[in-house]
């Protein structure tokens, strides 16, 4: 019984030991499980923390990425705006370049026009210089001609004055035209009606007038300037022109014949030769009649013989003087 108890006790101890061992193992298992759970929990927590940190990092990265995307978008917008501005500036630049090209073209055209005008101006200046030189030359020539005119006019005026003085000294009532120095002789005294032969009264009148007139003209003072001594016959306006032309010519010749035949009594040989080389006789028929103050033809005064003179170059000088007078009037 003791042995049975002992065996039972031993058996009980074995089960207790087994139970303790199993309990220990269970406890160990529980402990291991707790440790594993705790380790797993720790790992899970760490993983969660790591996941949270990773999540946070990812959020930060996303936030940073979003910020960067926003920044990039802002920079892209700014870049687009700058590109638009650059494109606008490029267009403006192209427009300005086109405008500058047009302005340059206009400037080139204006420069060409200015050069053309400058060339034309230089041509005009050259022409003006030539014209001025020609004008100066012409003015010098005209001054010389004017001096010559004044000299001839002075000589003519002096000659007319000498004729008047000589007639006054001889107490001869002779009217001398102060413009040309001519003397009008009444044909009614010199000739009979429709006659061409000198009357006694006409011979007497010529013997008084012609010596004085010709002596002054043929004097040494004036003979170098004398170009012509003219005897001009005129009739009135009645009758036939050709008949009057012949009559006026014959009367002028009659006076010229008388002068040539009688000049030896008051002129020396040299003066006679000089007179003959310059004397002309001309008939003018009924041209250049004499008019009264009321505009009517004076038939008696129109029948006349005129004795006149002309100086060398006088006709040319008269024409030149008229041109100069016209030019002077045009420049006023």
List C-alpha distances in Å: 194 to 183, 184, 185, 332: 22, 18, 16, 53
pLDDT of residue 88: 83
Structure-block tokens of residue 76? 């892209």
pLDDT of residue 15: 67
Structure-block tokens of residue 199? 């009357």
d(CA 283, CA 300): 17
The count of other CB atoms within 10 Å of the CB of residue 145 is: 18
d(CA 324, CA 318): 10
Strands 304-311 and 226-234 turn out to be antiparallel
d(CA 252, CA 254): 5
Calculate the CA 258 to chain-centre distance.
67
d(CA 198, CA 253): 11
- Per-residue pLDDT tens listing for the chain (332 residues): 556 566 666 666 666 666 777 777 777 777 777 777 777 777 777 777 777 777 777 777 777 777 777 877 787 787 788 888 878 888 888 888 888 888 888 888 888 888 888 888 888 888 888 888 887 887 777 666 666 656 667 889 999 999 999 999 999 999 999 888 999 999 999 999 899 999 999 999 999 999 999 999 999 989 888 999 999 999 999 999 999 999 999 999 999 999 999 999 999 999 999 999 999 999 999 999 999 999 999 999 999 999 999 998 765 566 556 656 665 555 55
Residues in the chain, total: 332
> Which pTM does this prediction carry?
0.55
Please name the residue that has the structure tokens 């200015």. Answer: 114
Helices 269-278 and 200-217, axial angle in degrees (round to 10): 100
pLDDT of residue 120: 86
SS3 for 20-54 is HHHHHHHHHHHHHHHHHHHHHHHHHHHHHHHHHHH
DSSP letter at 118?
A: H
Residue 7 backbone zone (phi > 0: left; psi -120 to 50: alpha; other: beta): alpha
pLDDT of residue 126: 86
Q: Where are the alpha helices (DSSP H) in the chain?
A: 2-169, 187-190, 200-217, 241-262, 269-278, 299-302, 314-331
């Amino acid at each position: 019984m003791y042995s049975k108890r002992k065996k039972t006790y031993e058996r009980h101890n074995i089960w207790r030991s087994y139970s303790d061992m199993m309990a220990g193992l269970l406890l160990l298992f529980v402990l291991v499980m707790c440790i594993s759970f705790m380790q797993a929990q720790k790992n899970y927590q760490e993983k969660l923390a790591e996941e949270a940190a990773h999540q946070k990092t990812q959020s930060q990265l996303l936030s940073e990425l979003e910020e960067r995307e926003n920044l990039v978008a802002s920079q892209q917008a700014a870049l687009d705006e700058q590109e638009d501005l650059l494109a606008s500036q490029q267009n403006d630049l192209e427009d300005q370049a086109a405008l500058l090209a047009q302005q340059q073209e206009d400037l080139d055209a204006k420069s060409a026009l200015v050069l053309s005008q400058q060339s034309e101006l230089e041509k005009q200046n050259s022409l003006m210089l030539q014209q001025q030189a020609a004008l100066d030359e012409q003015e010098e020539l005209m001054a010389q001609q004017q001096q010559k005119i004044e000299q001839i006019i002075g000589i003519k005026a002096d000659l007319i004055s000498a004729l008047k003085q000589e007639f006054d000294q001889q107490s001869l009532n002779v009217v001398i035209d102060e413009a040309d120095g001519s003397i009008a002789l009444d044909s009614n005294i010199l000739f009979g009606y429709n006659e061409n032969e000198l009357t006694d009264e006409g011979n007497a009148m010529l013997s008084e007038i012609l010596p004085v007139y010709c002596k002054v003209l043929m004097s040494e003072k004036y003979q170098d300037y004398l170009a012509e001594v003219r005897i001009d016959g005129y009739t009135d306006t009645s009758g036939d022109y050709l008949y009057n032309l012949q009559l006026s010519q014959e009367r002028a010749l009659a006076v010229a014949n008388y002068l040539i035949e009688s000049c030896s009594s008051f002129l020396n040989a040299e003066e006679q030769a000089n007179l003959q080389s310059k004397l002309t006789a001309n008939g003018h028929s009924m041209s250049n009649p004499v008019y009264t103050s009321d505009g009517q033809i004076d038939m008696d005064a129109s029948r006349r013989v005129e004795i006149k003179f002309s100086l060398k170059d006088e006709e040319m000088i008269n024409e030149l003087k008229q041109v100069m007078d016209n030019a002077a009037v045009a420049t006023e």
